[in-house]
Amino acid sequence: MDIHRSVCTAAVVLLLLSFSSFPKPSAGSAARAELVTWKCDNGTYYGENSTYQSNVRSLLASLAANASRSLFPVGFATAVVGASPDMVWGLGLCRGDTTNGTECASSCLDLAPEVAFGRCMGVKDVSIFYDRCTVRYSFRDFLTSPDNRQVQVWGASDDSVAPRDTGRFDALVASLVGALSDWAAFNTTTRYASGVLVSDQGFPTTPSKDLVHRINGLVQCTPDQAPGRCRECLQGLIDEMPAVFNGSVGGRILAVWCNLRFEVHEFYDGSPMLKLTAP
């Protein structure tokens, strides 16, 4: 898997990831989560062995512990540690197909210190995206004013459908993601939905020349959001899709408050919550 990882100083960032599709994890697997990308906001720093570093360490441990104990929503926690000027705010979110918060914490959230004190050592504002969880911490109080534009990361598969089918395929992806967004926002309390859209006609792909008939999708908001706010958050990502995914057979937009992903293979655990058929 070839993933381009980037660090940027901008407050609002849109990064391009080039990646091939992930294999579907086995249901209930506690395998180590895969690091997708991260963002270190290099405009702010702390010193090694400083109070801020100690607070970050305590915060990450608290997020993993609280998420592991959370029965509803499973695998979600926020925390604030320390006092000014070394206060740190944080959020941890497991992917919505998580059924065991302890498992997610041990296999995903517990890995965050590797990035925090490795690739992003000394940086005060850090976002970390694994395939099965998200972690962010900052010296800014981002919890009371959620803004999904602060951190956005997108990536598209190296494979795409044949050029003549691009418009039809992209329209079906948009239809699936829109339906999933409605379901996650208005029909669940977890603010998560997964689903599949099946096309009898299928789509030839390049360069693999495979014929694909299924599009799988997933959307998620943090479960503390009201239905309308969640749907608005996801719509902001949907509006980015035409410029980002031009016939790509897989892609994702990662952000802190909501995210989406689609692939032509299954990549989530459990049965799809929505099953749609292409017209």
Domain boundary assignment for the chain: 35-144, 153-277
The residues, any chain, with a CB within 8 Å of residue 176's CB and separated by 6 or more, are: 195, 196, 197, 215, 217, 262, 274, 276
Contact between residue 267 and residue 216 where contact means Cβ atoms under 8 Å apart: yes
Pick from 175, 185, 61: which is nearest to 117 by CA? Answer: 61
Give tens-digit pLDDT for 28-39: 445 789 999 999
Categorize the per-residue pLDDT at 209 as very low, low, confident or very high, splitting at 50, 70 and 90. confident
Place of tokens 């997933």: 218
**Res. 9: pLDDT tops 50:** no
- Share above pLDDT 90 across residues of the chain, in percent, rounded to a whole number: 82
**Res. 14: pLDDT tops 50:** no
- The confidence score (pLDDT) of residue 105 equals 94
Question: What is the average per-residue pLDDT within 62-76?
Answer: 91
- Share above pLDDT 70 across residues of the chain, in percent, rounded to a whole number: 89
User: How many Å apart are CA 149 and CA 136, to the nearest integer?
Assistant: 14
Superfamily name and number for 153-277? Gnk2 domain, C-X8-C-X2-C motif (3.30.430.20)
Q: What angle do CA 224, 226, 229 make, to 5 degrees?
A: 110
When mean pLDDT is compared across 54-58, 205-209, 236-240, the lowest value belongs to: 205-209
Please give the distance of CA 191 from its chain centroid, rounded to a whole number. 13
User: How many Å apart are CA 128 and CA 136, to the nearest integer?
Assistant: 6
- The confidence score (pLDDT) of residue 32 equals 84
Question: What is the average per-residue pLDDT within 197-222?
Answer: 94
Task: Say if residue 73 is preceded by a cis peptide, omega within 30 of 0.
Answer: yes
**Res. 134: pLDDT tops 90:** yes
Please give the distance of CA 56 from its chain centroid, rounded to a whole number. 21
Same fold, 35-144 and 153-277: yes
Which comes out higher in pLDDT, residue 168 or 23? 168
Pick from 169, 150, 186, 143: which is nearest to 273 by CA? Answer: 186
CB < 8 Å & 24+ apart, contacts of 113-118: 113/57, 113/60, 115/35, 115/38, 116/56, 116/57, 116/60, 117/53, 117/57
Superfamily name and number for 35-144? Gnk2 domain, C-X8-C-X2-C motif (3.30.430.20)
- The confidence score (pLDDT) of residue 30 equals 57
Q: Which amino acid is at 102?
A: T
Contact between residue 81 and residue 59 where contact means Cβ atoms under 8 Å apart: yes
Question: What is the average per-residue pLDDT within 191-204?
Answer: 96
